[in-house]
């Protein structure tokens, strides 16, 4: 087995900064009552703000500094989002406290080896708004330790693995193994400065000094005892939430944050080999101001997982939407995806042009003009020509004609709004017919029709659709044009 540990060192900070399009200074504070800075963005670091500073000291160095409280729940949700996205690389995933573990042995051939796989993971992670460190090892615990303290490591079983573990500091036992401070102090007190020193200590002596957990951790990391991990299962429905550092009503700021969420949605869809026809963008407004949230249903016009299409349509919706209050968080919701076959390549090279996408055109027009401004025609189950169609909202399931009914005779492309009286055609001008249509008595006398329809040729050789009233005075009427 080969494990890839994806460690997010600045997770506490980046859950807040990934939705920002500006470079204003921001820092994250630890738990109360003694709140200390646990993370600072580059702009804050440039002002002298660094981890360990108190609130007052940080504000003294940077009066414009934006301070936010650490949110463990948000960090856990971000790890789940990253794990759902990473399922595009392998289905074998496990979560650690601040890392995502991927078993990638079976994926190396697909991605062309470790270097291309690293490039794909780190590149995609950046699109989500996170910075990560990677390490590869045969055991999950060793991969976690190496990602934290020796990022970029790629070790195999045997002496190379033991040498890499031996070089790690004692802090690895606490940061990745959960060892308490008293045991670390005990190890330091007997002269151990790295894990190699600990491995050389007599095991019986460690056991007598209540350090059995240390032996356990080292055996798991070296592969001498099993290290079973619970597998992560991507959620059936996608929900991604991105808090904004400050409330905003600027469309570009909202779109910047939306790009981060769409990256996670893309990975989730790819891992499930599916696509969507629609998703919901939720704008969470400031509390106690108007409505709590605004929900935007975004219709894609086709089953797809094209994030450029999603962003284009979201921009159209946001551009025409009047916000009732500034937005403080974005949320993306999507139902279970439908199976979507991957796009196939042409057998022969084409000219590189893509065919027109009518679904995208309709979805864009609806987003830009509103649902009520775009209509299409749909069949309606009625024999009367003027009642055989309806206006229909595009991209929704239209009413369908009854199954099993035989197809009617040819119908004209252009139907007149009202039949036009004409003189009786010559017998040799009638090419087909009669077709009797007698229907509509339930809608009243005015809608009740009793007609014989014919296809006729006019003197200019155009084909028309005419009918003769079967009731007196038996007049002839023009009702449509074929060509």
Q: 249-270 pLDDT, tens per residue?
A: 888 888 888 988 998 898 888 8
Torsion angle defined by CA atoms of residues 171, 175, 181 and 182, in that order, rounded to the nearest 10 degrees: -80
Q: Which CATH number fits domain 238-339: 3.30.1490.100, 3.40.190.10, 3.90.470.10, 3.40.50.300?
A: 3.30.1490.100
What pLDDT is stored for residue 29 in this prediction? Answer: 93
Question: What single string gives the DSSP state of each residue in 173-207?
Answer: HHHTT---HHHHHHHHHTT--BHHHHHHS-HHHHH
User: Same topology for domains 3-8+72-222 and 238-339, yes or no?
Assistant: no
Segment 117-130 shows an average pLDDT of 91
Q: Does residue 244 carry a pLDDT above 80?
A: yes
Q: How far apart are CA 205 and CA 215, in angstroms?
A: 11
Q: How far apart are CA 65 and CA 204, in angstroms?
A: 53
Q: Which of 160-169, 348-357, 377-386, 387-396 has the lowest mean pLDDT?
A: 348-357
3 state DSSP class of 433: strand
First vs last Cα of the chain: how many Å apart?
70
What pLDDT is stored for residue 79 in this prediction? Answer: 92
Phi and psi (nearest 5°) for 270?
A: -65, -40
Segment 217-245 shows an average pLDDT of 89
Which of 298 and 376 is assigned the larger pLDDT? 298
Chain mean pLDDT for the chain: 84
What pLDDT is stored for residue 399 in this prediction? Answer: 55
3-8+72-222: CATH topology is Alpha-Beta Plaits (3.30.70)
Report pTM: 0.72
Q: Which of 60-69, 171-180, 280-289, 373-382 has the lowest mean pLDDT?
A: 373-382
Q: Give the residue ranges of DSSP H helices in 227-337.
A: 251-271, 307-320
Which of 37 and 350 is assigned the larger pLDDT? 37
Beta strands in 17-81 (DSSP E): 26-29, 37-40, 66-69
Beta strands in 234-305 (DSSP E): 238-248, 274-285, 293-304
Could you tell me the pLDDT band of residue 147, with boundaries at 50, 70 and 90? Answer: very high
What pLDDT is stored for residue 336 in this prediction? Answer: 85
152's tokens: 């970029």
Q: Which of 73-77, 261-265, 384-388, 477-481 has the lowest mean pLDDT?
A: 384-388
Residue 115: count of CB within 10 angstroms of its CB: 10
What pLDDT is stored for residue 361 in this prediction? Answer: 75
Q: 288-331 pLDDT, tens per residue?
A: 555 688 898 888 888 888 888 888 888 888 888 888 888 888 99
Q: 39-62 pLDDT, tens per residue?
A: 999 999 999 999 999 999 999 999
Q: How far apart are CA 325 and CA 149, in angstroms?
A: 45
What pLDDT is stored for residue 209 in this prediction? Answer: 66
321: CB partners within 8 A, 6+ apart: 294, 296
Helix axis angle for 212-222 and 159-166, nearest 10°, is 140
Domain ranges of the chain: 3-8+72-222, 238-339, 409-481
Question: Which of 279, 396, 397, 269 is closest to 339 using CA atoms?
Answer: 269
Q: Which of 141-155, 211-225, 259-273, 368-382 has the lowest mean pLDDT?
A: 368-382
What pLDDT is stored for residue 140 in this prediction? Answer: 92
Could you tell me the pLDDT band of residue 121, with boundaries at 50, 70 and 90? Answer: very high
Q: Give the residue ranges of DSSP H helices in 179-306.
A: 181-189, 195-200, 203-208, 212-222, 251-271
What pLDDT is stored for residue 145 in this prediction? Answer: 93
Question: Which of 121, 132, 169, 142 is closest to 9 using CA atoms?
Answer: 132
What pLDDT is stored for residue 102 in this prediction? Answer: 95
Which of 426 and 112 is assigned the larger pLDDT? 112
Residue 465's beta-bridge partner residues?
455, 480
Ranked by mean pLDDT, the top range of 225-239, 285-299, 372-386, 403-417 is 225-239
Segment 359-372 shows an average pLDDT of 73
SS (H, E, C) 157-170: CCHHHHHHHHCCEC
Rg (CA), the chain: 34
Segment 227-234 shows an average pLDDT of 89
Could you tell me the pLDDT band of residue 233, with boundaries at 50, 70 and 90? Answer: confident
Q: Does residue 351 carry a pLDDT above 60?
A: no
What pLDDT is stored for residue 176 in this prediction? Answer: 63
Q: Does residue 345 carry a pLDDT above 70?
A: no
171: CB partners within 8 A, 6+ apart: 149, 184
């Amino acid at each position: 087995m080969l494990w890839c540990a994806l460690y997010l060192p600045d997770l506490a900070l980046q859950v807040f900064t990934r939705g920002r399009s500006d470079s204003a200074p921001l820092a994250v504070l630890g738990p109360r009552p003694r709140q200390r800075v646990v993370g600072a963005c580059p702009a804050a670091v440039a002002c002298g703000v660094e981890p360990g500073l108190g609130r007052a000291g940080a504000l003294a160095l940077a009066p414009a500094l934006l301070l936010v409280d650490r949110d463990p729940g948000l960090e856990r949700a971000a790890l789940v989002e990253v794990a759902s996205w990473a399922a595009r690389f392998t289905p074998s995933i496990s979560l650690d406290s601040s890392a995502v573990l991927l078993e990638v042995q079976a994926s190396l051939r697909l991605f062309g080896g470790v270097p291309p796989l690293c490039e794909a993971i780190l590149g995609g992670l950046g699109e989500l708004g996170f910075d990560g460190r990677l390490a590869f090892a045969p055991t999950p615990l060793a991969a976690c330790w190496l990602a934290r303290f020796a990022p970029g490591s790629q070790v195999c079983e045997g002496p190379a693995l033991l040498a890499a573990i031996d070089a790690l500091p004692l802090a690895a036992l606490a940061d990745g193994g959960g060892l308490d401070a008293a045991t670390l102090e005990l190890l330091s007190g007997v002269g151990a400065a790295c894990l190699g020193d600990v491995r050389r200590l007599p095991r019986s002596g460690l056991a007598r000094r209540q350090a059995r957990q240390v032996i356990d951790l080292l055996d798991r990391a070296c592969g001498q005892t099993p290290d079973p991990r619970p597998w992560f299962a991507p959620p059936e429905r996608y929900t991604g939430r991105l808090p904004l550092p400050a409330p905003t009503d600027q469309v570009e700021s909202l779109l910047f944050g939306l790009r981060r969420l769409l990256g996670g949605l893309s990975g989730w869809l790819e891992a499930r080999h599916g696509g969507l026809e629609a998703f919901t963008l939720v704008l969470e407004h400031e509390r106690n101001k108007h409505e709590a949230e605004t929900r935007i249903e975004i219709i894609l016009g086709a089953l797809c997982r094209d994030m450029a299409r999603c962003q284009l349509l979201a921009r159209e919706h946001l551009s025409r939407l009047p916000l009732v209050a500034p937005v403080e968080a974005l949320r993306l919701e999507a139902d279970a995806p439908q199976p979507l076959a991957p796009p196939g390549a042409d057998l022969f090279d084409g000219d590189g042009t893509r065919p027109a996408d009518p679904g995208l055109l309709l979805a864009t027009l609806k987003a830009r003009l509103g649902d009520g401004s775009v209509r299409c025609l749909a069949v309606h189950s009625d024999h009367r020509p003027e009642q055989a169609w309806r206006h229909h909202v595009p991209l929704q399931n239209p009413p369908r004609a009854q199954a099993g009914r035989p197809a009617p005779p040819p119908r004209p492309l252009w139907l007149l709004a009202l039949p036009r009286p004409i003189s009786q055609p010559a017998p040799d001008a009638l090419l087909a017919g009669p077709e009797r249509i007698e229907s509509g008595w339930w809608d009243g006398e005015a809608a009740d029709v009793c007609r014989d329809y014919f296809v006729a040729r006019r003197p200019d050789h155009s084909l028309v659709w005419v009918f003769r009233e079967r009731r007196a005075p038996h007049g002839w009427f023009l009702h449509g044009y074929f060509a």
